[in-house]
Amino acid sequence: MAGYTDLPFRRMCRRFGLHYAHTPLITAGALVYGNPDANQTLYRGDDEPYLAAQLLGSVPADIKKAAAMLSRMHFDAIDFNMGCPVRKVIKTKAGAAMMRYQENALLCLKIIRESTEAPVTVKTRILSENDPEPSVEFCLALQSLGIDAITIHGRLAEKVYSGPVASHIIRAISENLRIPVCANGGVFTAAQALQLANDSACKRIMIARGAIGNPWLFHELVHGQPYLPSHEEVCEIMHEHLDGIRQLYGERKGMILGRKIVQGYLTGRGYRRNLRDQATKISTWGQFREFHSLVLASPPGNNFLNPQITQIAQMNADISSASEIKDQI
C-alpha cells in the first residue's frame, strides 16, 4: 500500500471504523540517509490512535539504524515487511524476496527485535499453495525471534494479487503458532472478510487494497451490513481526502499524488469513463475544485453501485455475523 496509507487516507478510513493502521512502506535506506519524503511517509496525526511503522529493507546495517530511529518516534509497533511483491523491491532482495534469503531475513528481524522495546510484527506470504510445511517452518522461525504477531498474505509472491487466497495454508500457520496470526488477501467486502476469517481460523483480518476509494468498507465490517454511500457522500469524502493530501504534501505534489485517489473513489461506481479520465490532468487545487464541481453535477444515476458493494448486498444473509471480527479491525 505504498503511496496510499498516509495520514489523509487513514483519517478517511478511521472515520468509518478503522482503529489499527500502518504507515506506508518506508525503506530503511530512505530513513537512514535522510530521504526528504520520509517525514511525510511517517507523519502521524495528533488524533490518531494505534499506528505501526512499516519498515522495508534487506541490508542489516541499515535495518539496525532504521529500527533504532523508528523506536524513538513512539510508534505503537514496528512491522517488518517480508511480503511486498513489487519488482523493484524484489530486486533489492527485500519484501517477499526475503523468503528466498531466509538467513538474511532472520538476521534482519533479529536486529529489529534487539533494537526496540516496541512490539515487532511481520507481514509475509505463503511459500507453497499446496504444502503448508514450508510456510509453517518459516513462520515458526520468525516466531522464535520474539515477534508479537504475524500477518500472512495467502498468495505466492509471483502471483502478486491474482488468483485465489490459500486460506488453508494460513490456517495451518495459525494452528502451529502461539502468537496472533492475521489473514490477508482478497478482502473487498465484509462477506469476504468473514469468509477468510472462517477459512483461515484467524480472528484478525488485514484490509489493504479493498479500502482504496472505499473507506466505507470499515463501516460494513464493524456493523455487519452493507453501506452504500450516496453520490453526495462520495464527493464529500473525496474532497476532504484530497484537501488532506494538499495540506500534507503541498499543492503541486499533492494534486499529482491525488489523481489515483480520485480514480479510486470514482471507479466501479457508475461514473462515466470520460469523466474519470479528466482526473489524470489535475495539477492544482483549482483544477481539482473545478473537476469536483463537475463530478458533483454528474451523478451516475441508476448505475450507482460499486460491483464489490453489489456483492455485499447479494450476500447479506451470509455476513450478519461479520461484526464478530469488529474488535480486530
Considering the domain architecture, whether residues 241 and 188 belong to the same structural domain is answered as no
Helix (H, G, I), strand (E, B) or coil at 94: coil
Positive or negative torsion for Cα 108, 124, 7, 119: negative
Q: How far apart are CA 14 and CA 146, in angstroms?
A: 30
Domains in the chain, number: 2
> Is 108 annotated as catalytic?
no
Considering the domain architecture, whether residues 263 and 204 belong to the same structural domain is answered as no
* Residue 318 domain-assigned (yes or no): no
pLDDT beyond 90 at 301: no
* Residue 127 domain-assigned (yes or no): yes
Considering the domain architecture, whether residues 121 and 250 belong to the same structural domain is answered as no
More confident site: 29 or 303? 29
Q: How far apart are CA 255 and CA 43, in angstroms?
A: 18
pLDDT beyond 60 at 16: yes
Considering the domain architecture, whether residues 197 and 270 belong to the same structural domain is answered as no
| Residue range of the domain that includes 155 | 7-222
Considering the domain architecture, whether residues 217 and 239 belong to the same structural domain is answered as no
Burial class (CB in 10 A: 0-12, 13-18, 19+), 103: exposed
pLDDT attached to residue 326: 39
Asked if 270 contacts 304 with a C-beta cutoff of 8 angstroms, the reply is yes
Residue type, 30: A
- Among residues 13, 84, 202, 235, the one annotated as catalytic is 84
Q: How far apart are CA 121 and CA 113, in angstroms?
A: 9
Considering the domain architecture, whether residues 281 and 196 belong to the same structural domain is answered as no
Considering the domain architecture, whether residues 175 and 263 belong to the same structural domain is answered as no
Considering the domain architecture, whether residues 204 and 78 belong to the same structural domain is answered as yes
Considering the domain architecture, whether residues 149 and 255 belong to the same structural domain is answered as no
Instruction: Tell me the pTM.
Output: 0.88
* Residue 293 domain-assigned (yes or no): yes
Considering the domain architecture, whether residues 205 and 272 belong to the same structural domain is answered as no
Considering the domain architecture, whether residues 30 and 169 belong to the same structural domain is answered as yes
* Residue 68 domain-assigned (yes or no): yes
Considering the domain architecture, whether residues 151 and 15 belong to the same structural domain is answered as yes
* Residue 1 domain-assigned (yes or no): no
pLDDT attached to residue 291: 98
pLDDT in tens, 158-189: 999 999 999 999 999 999 999 999 999 999 99
pLDDT beyond 50 at 309: no
pLDDT in tens, 225-264: 889 999 999 999 999 999 999 999 999 999 999 999 999 9
